[in-house]
Every structure is written in structure tokens, then in C-alpha cells.
Structure 1
Amino acid sequence: MNKQDFNEGLLGFLDASPTPFHATQNMAMMFENAGFTRLDEADKWELKAGQKYYVARNGSSIIAFTYPKTEKNYVMVGAHTDSPNLKLKPNPVIKEYGVVKFGVESYGGLLLNPWFDRDLSIAGRVSYLDANRTLQSTLINVQKPIAVIPSLAIHLDDKANKERTVNKQTDICPVLSTNEDFDFDEFIKWQLANNGIEDVKQVYASELSFYDTQKAEFVGLRNDFIASARLDNLLSCYTGMVSICSVNADKPVLFIASDHEEVGSESTSGAGGSFLENTLHRMFDDYEEYMQMTRSSLMISADNAHAIHPNYPTKHDTNHAPHINKGIVIKVNANQRYASNDKTIAKFKHTAASLHVKLQNFVTRSDMGCGSTIGPITATRIGIDTIDVGLPTWAMHSIRELAGSDDAHDLYKVLTGLSA
């Protein structure tokens, strides 16, 4: 796949995936179109050699794999489906001062200031009782801008440009309407009706998030950048998805995109849960074969990396400061916040060199804290050799992040090269 087609597909995937549920659904559709067979965790699996499969958990995490059976040296790619956002509280409606607002929680390490004055919509999953009194769940996406978080005018806050802070309880409630007749359940039923679901008896629960309706777009004099919400980490999800769809079924390849990375991965559908381990045991039910597979395979943990910010260069270690559009980033941390080691780095570098793909190194400043990824979690839980890589990004965890228009395609080339 050439870079232009790759990037155009990426923009479409970003726009169509406002929540982990939507991202997982879109990846499942892609796998279906690429000839993967859907599995259900609650069913008995009867895997056939030479076939390709995928399985989802919670509708927000997904695994796809080839099954050559005799080959055990898997190339695995790990990413995460979730991004920091504003999630609705269970009883979200607040009516005061002549408006209807929604109470929200900040999910993950959210950069709050960029959420002000944006055209916001809502998407997520709803569980309800249908006309036959059967419990159902479905995805909704309002798409239309329905809310905004207005900034406080500088006339009322003369320190706004000096020391602006945001109170997560009181300052970031999105405003929906001046019509105080608003009813939340009726709003949800209206959205379900838009999906063709009529006569809903009861709305029981929902997991809904706000998102910016501005589309993903090329930015820069020569389209140098891709600007979008949720680049962390749908950028890696898309790259891993396209990579496994591009390899033959006789090559041992696995892709996993897990939920809840931004809040620690400790859930049934997070990397700290059993999803990957359960799947691998069902692929290799003989313990000796399972161990042979884990010790001969490689996990590439793909997550975004902090590119050196041209206005804040001192936030980086000078010798380990990645630049946008200058190559894939290998992430290293002496305290195992990243899982890269010399052997996994060497294997990745060898493949990149054969494809003439540029690489960079990232090590956080020694006087600053270091984030982490699913890499160390997966390495610890599965016992698989792992490397942490990423694509250089600005404004990570903002409502609109920025990455290079070259880098993701380079990662795609290396991932398919490792699988060849």
C-alpha cells in the first residue's frame, strides 16, 4: 500500500472511531473484509491451519491472528483503543443558570484546556430493554455538534493568560441547551430511533464520551502533518490492523488492540487482563507448544512518542529527542517503563535497515517522570520478548494531536517486513 492510500485510509478510520467501541467495530469490519473468521470467546474453538481469525472482548478490545499451526515464532503487534476524553456520568443532567449541562468525568491523563470552545458531540454504547423485553446493547454516534464548553471571557479572568487552571468538577461541564425540558432517557431513545431501534422499553445504562467533531486533516505547507483527535493511539491501531491484513495467512502474525491503557490497563479488556493470554492458550493448548511460541516470538508495543517540541526544546534529553517525519521512535527506559532491550532493538533495527526506514531513539530526561505502555505489562504477563516503539507526536492527550504524515507508513513497512 502506498503512503497516500495509507494516510487517506487513516483519516477515515480516525473520523469513524470516536470511541474504543467504534474503533473495535471498524477493525472487525476490516478483518471480515480481509478474510478473517470471527470467533466468540463463549464458544468452543476449532481452529484450522492456514486460516485467519479475530475475536473481540467487551466490544472495545480485539485480537486478530493468522494460524499456520506449525509456525510458532509469531510477530505480535500491540496497541490500545482508548484515548483521554470526557465521559458522561451516570446521572449527567445539570439544569441551572438557564441552561442544560452534562456532568462529566475526565478519563485518563487529559489535557483539559484545549477542550474549551470546541464543537462537541457524543458517542458510545447504550444498553437497553427492547420491545421483546430482551437486554440489548448498541453503539450510537450523534455526529451533530450538540454541546460546547465555553471559555470564561478574559474580562472576567485577568489571569487567564498567566495561570489558567481547570477544575475538573465545575469548569468543564459541556452546555447543551437553554431548553430546560431536556430529558436524558428521551434523548437516548431518540438516538436509538435514529439507528432504527424503536419501542425501547427501558434505557438501563450507557458508556458515552464527548468528542470534537472537527475532522482529521492534513496540515502543513506540504501536508507535513496529520492533525486529529485520538492519534494516541488509533494511529498505531490502524497501522497494526493494515499490517496484519497485508500478510499471507501462512505467516505467524498477531495483532491486539486493548482498551483502558490510559487508566492503567487493569480490566478484563485491558492489557493487564487475561484476553491475550486466554487467546494464546486456545491457539496452543499444549503447554510445551505454548512455551515454545512465547519464547520464540516478538511483541512490538506500538504507542505514540513525544516529539521534541520546537517551542519547548528543554523538555527533552538533547541526544534522545525525536523529530516528526524523521523516523520511527525506539523507546528505552532503564527502569522498565518501556520493555525494549538490546536483542529486541537489534531485530527491529535490522529489519528497518533492510527496508531503508529511518529510526530514532527516545529516552526521557533523567529529571522527569516517564510514562509507560502496554509493553511492560504484556512482557510481564506473557513472558514474551518485547520492544516499545512509537510515532513522534505533538500535543499528546490534547483534543487535537499532531503527527507526521510519513511516520505511520514507515511503521507499516517495518511491521510487514518483520512478518515476511
Structure 2
Amino acid sequence: MFNPTIPQEAQDFIEFVNQSPSPFHATHEAAKILKAAGYTEIKERDSWNEGLIQREGKYYFTRNGSAIIAFHVGGKYNPGNGFSIVGAHTDSPCLKVKPVSKKDKSGYLEVGVQLYGGGIWHTWFDRDLSVAGRVLIEHEDGTFKHTLVKVDRPILRIPTLAIHLDRTANDSFTFNKENQLAPILATAAKAQLSGITATEGVESEANHHPLLVRILADEMKVEPNQIRDFELAVYDTQKSTIGGACNEFIFSPRLDNLEMSYCSIIALTQAKDIENDTNIRIAALFDNEEVGSMTAHGADSNLLPVTLQRLANTRVVDAKDVSLTAFEESIHKSILVSADMAHAIHPNYADRHEENHRPEMHKGTVIKINANQRYATTAVTSMVLKELAKKHQIPIQEFVVRNDSSCGSTIGPMLSAKLGLRTVDVGNPQLSMHSIRETGGTDDVKHGIDLLRVFYEEFAVLEQRFIVD
């Protein structure tokens, strides 16, 4: 029987993405992986004084529940030494439930949604949809707690118009994003027969259909009046899976950028030889990259700069005293690998790629370069990864966009400029980026993990060979 093997790394990633329908869930799942690997949770609001941060210590913290930073302190680290950083993001384009989402149209209950990021919105039609995110619950003691919710069954759908009513649909499928992209929750008749109606004084039911609020309350085993507010993303309930005749594809939502987020965390936890490392190894997963990163928990915030400053200015147990310029010294011994998915060549649109830069699945992580600095890669920073890939026989590719095509961007340029930090932009190749269902290669999860793992293990030593400022 023909049954090709599936890399374990791809299988494990699928489990991660299936449990991560929102940035809050992705952060929670990343924290679970870190805890299992012996990482200790700390808080930004607490003091990181002497005695907390130790050589070979493993730590993480979250911000807003949707961004997470983890770090592993080298056994030979001293203040003023460098940081080996990998940055990625937890968010993906999606529909988000509006603050007042209640809509009634032509005998249907609909849920008002906002567009988040640059999604391929026509792919959201005729899919089995549900909601996931975080809910603020009021408890008996008067406290409000952030609670994750994920409704596993499909409760929403955006139906297309029948071909008989729009004969042009196959030629030009267009729609109004405000009026025609609202998911249907239920029929008004069935909702009335359910007996679930608005309860006086329940604020959430004034803004949202009581039926939706009841579903959330039942899922979390609380009363509807305990739900004070929420941030919900609409997601596709069809699970991520392995496909292709040779089990070579990952068919999945949110490959951009949960795949590189996953590779970053796994590489950090798997990296060896920490006892000899002079650097601090860091994985930083930010929220809101798809909408510009200019939020308190995005890459354009103070999240990474403040973290690096605090680490540089913290006297690690048994380390030398901190100099006044420790932070500035450390930045110039550091590098950021900005890890965000890349475009694989599309067989039906091959002309959209530059002829000498056509990344393929299974052939390695892609180094992304752009003369207009949409990516922050330089000759120096790309050589770091090329040297490591060559030494360990890890496949790697390069990509530039065509001159007559627009170019996306990443967190790399903004962090590089903000910190004066050497940066290289990379990502695993995929198809259908920003679709509700994307396609990646099963081998590339391992390629990404391996490349980032050897970066963590060996950058501090390799950096000594570079004499370019």
C-alpha cells in the first residue's frame, strides 16, 4: 500500500495550528510548549532584579495575552553581550466580530464583522465558520478575568449568491464588504422558537444576538450576565491537515504566520549547548503585524526594545557588574531573524515571480531581500544564515520580488530601524498566502526549525568572525 511517511514536525505543527484559531490561543499554545520545556513565567510588571534572572535560566512572559517573549540565558553570558533573536507574529488576516454585531435581515440573524488585515475575502464564502478569542468574565469576587473561548462547531456561514441570480459570478466575483460579507448565525424563526431572548440588564445581549452570547456562555460554563466584553475572531472550523499524493502538503489556515511562530518556539526549546553560549537567546512573537504593528503588543511598540534594555541592565547571578553602556554594547553584537512566511512559486502564475528567484516547497527556508528595504536583509546578515546552513547542510533559498510587482513587508525593517539592529528576513515558502486555506510543504517545517535552532546554538561564535560594523 502506497502510504508516504509524514515528517513528525509537520504533524506536531498541525496540532499547534488547530489549537490556535486566534492570536490569544497561539500565545497560550506557545506558553504550553515553553512550560513543558522548563521555562518559568515571569511578569513585565515585576522587578527583574538580581536573583531572578540566572545563567542558563529559561523564562517567558506575555503581553495582552496575544504576544509572547521567551528567552534562554547563556551559561557564559555577561551584561553587554549579544542577543540571538528570532521574531515572528501570531496574527493572521480574518474577520472580527464588531462591538455591536447584532443584525437582522430578511428573516435571518447575522453577525456584523470587521475586516482584519489584507485577506483574500472571497475565500471566506461557503465555509463552515465559528468564533474564537478571549472573553472578559466577571467573577463573584468582582474581578474580571481574561478567558479563552473556542466554539468548535460551525455556527456561521457566508453563502454565495446562486449562479441563476448572478450570471457574471464566474467572470467577476465581486461583493460589497459591508453588506454582503456578514455571516448568517441563524434563521429568525428558529431563534424565536429556541426561547433564547435578551435578558434585561445583560449588556452583551444589547449589542449581540442573545443566541451568540448563550453559545459563548455555555462553552465557558458561565452565565450570560458574567460576559462583560470580548474580542472574537471568525475562523474556519475545517482543521489543518496533510494532503497531496505523497503527503507533501499542509492544507491549513493561518500558515502565515503560525508556521514561523511555531518554528521559532520549537527551535528555542530544542537548541543545545546553552552552557557555552555567551548570548541570550530570544524568541519574540508579536501581534498585529497584519495591520501595521503599531499597537502596544505589536512589533512597532516598546515590547522588544524595553525587554532588551531590561535584560542588558539586569545583573545576572554571578555575572560581572553592569556598565552604563551595556545595552548599546549588546545591540551591536546581536542579530534579529525576522521569520515570516514567503511566496512559493505558483505553477499557474509562474510569470509573477522574478526568473532567478523562484522559491519551491521542500527546498528550504527563504531569505527575503528587497532593494527598497521592505525587507531588512543585508549581505552581512544573509551570510550569517548561509554559513550556518552550509555547515549543517540545511537547504536555503533566496527571493526578490519582480520590479513590476508590489512587495509585502515584515516586522524586520521596523525593528531594525528602531533598535539599530542587524536583521535578516526569512520565511518558509507557501501558496495562497492570506487565503482562508493556505498551502505549505511538510518538509519545510523541519527546515525552518533546523535553521533557527543552529542559529541559536552558533550565532554568538560565528559573530566573532564578522568584522563589518
TM over 0.5: yes
- 1:385-405 deviation digits (Å, cap 9, x = unpaired): 100011111100000000111
- Structure 1 position 324, deviation (Å): 1.6
RMSD, matched Cα:
1.7
The match for 1:191 among 210, 216, 223 is 216
Aligned ranges 1:240-389 → 2 under 5 Å: 240-248=264-272, 249-250=274-275, 251=277, 252-285=280-313, 286=322, 287-389=324-426
Give the Cα–Cα distance (whole angstroms) in 2 for the partners of residues 4 and 406 of structure 1.
Answer: 7
Code of the residue aligned with 1:272 in structure 2: it is D
Letter in 1 for 2:86: V
Task: Tell me, yes or no, if the aligned pair for 2:7 and 2:443 is still in contact at 8 Å.
Answer: no
Aligned residue type for 1:265: S
**1:319-355 CA deviation, whole Å, 9 max, x = no partner?**
1121122221110001110000000111110100111
Please point out which of 223, 237, 248 is paired with 2:247. Answer: 223
Q: Please report the TM-score for the alignment, with normalisation by the length of structure 1.
A: 0.96
- Aligned partner of 1:151 in structure 2 is 160
Task: Report the counterpart of residue 172 of structure 2 in structure 1.
Answer: 163
Whether the aligned pair in 2 keeps the contact of 1:52 and 1:64 (CA below 8 Å) is yes
Alpha-carbon separation, structure 1, partners of 2:246 and 2:410: 32
- Residue 128 of structure 1 deviates from its aligned partner by 3.1
**Identity within the alignment, %:** 40
Q: What does the per-residue CA deviation read over 1:216-260, in whole Å, with 9 as the maximum and x for residues that have no partner?
A: 111111111111000000000110010001124434310000000
Measured in 2, the distance between the counterparts of 1:136 and 1:411 equals 36
1:43 to partner: Cα distance: 1.1
Q: Deviations over 1:273-327 (max 9, x none)?
A: 0111111111111552212221111111111111111111111111112112222
Q: Secondary structure at the match of 1:318?
A: coil
- Equivalent pairs counted in the alignment come to 418
Shift of 1:180: 4.0
1:24 lines up with 2:27 in the alignment: yes
Give the deviation of 1:21 after TM superposition: 0.1
Of 49, 63, 72 in structure 2, the residue corresponding to residue 57 of structure 1 is: 63
Q: CA deviation at 1:185?
A: 4.9
Of residues 223, 227, 232, the one that matches 2:256 is: 232
In 1, are the aligned partners of 2:293 and 2:300 still within 8 Å (CA)? yes
CA distance in structure 2 between the partners assigned to 1:97 and 1:240 by the alignment? 48
**Match of 2:283, SS?**
strand
Indicate conservation of the 8 Å contact 2:217/2:227, yes or no.
no
Instruction: Give the greater-gyration-radius structure (CA).
Output: 2
Equivalent position of 2:78 in the other structure: 70
Q: Where does residue 117 of structure 1 map in the other structure? A: 126
Structure 1 residue runs of 5 or longer lacking an equivalent are none
Q: Give the secondary structure class of the aligned counterpart of 2:325.
A: helix
Structure 1 position 172 matched with structure 2 position 188: no
List runs of 5+ in structure 2 lacking aligned partners: 199-208, 314-321, 458-469
Q: Is the contact made by 1:140 and 1:192 (CA closer than 8 Å) also made in structure 2? A: no
Q: Deviations over 1:110-169 (max 9, x none)?
A: 101111111111000111322232222211001111111111111111111111113210
SS at match of 1:410: helix
Instruction: Output the CA distance in 1 between the equivalents of 2:351 and 2:215.
Output: 51
Give the secondary structure class of the aligned counterpart of 1:64.
Answer: strand
Provide the residue aligned with 1:212 in structure 2: 236
How far does residue 186 in structure 1 lie from its aligned partner after superposition? 5.8
Q: Which residue of 2 aligns with 1:137?
A: 146
- Indicate conservation of the 8 Å contact 1:130/1:201, yes or no: no
Partner Cα separation in structure 2 for residue 139 and residue 399 of structure 1: 22
Deviating more after overlay: 271-280 vs 68-77 = 68-77
1:384-395 counterparts in 2 under 5 A?
A: 384-395=421-432
d(CA) in 2 for partners of 1:6, 1:342: 30
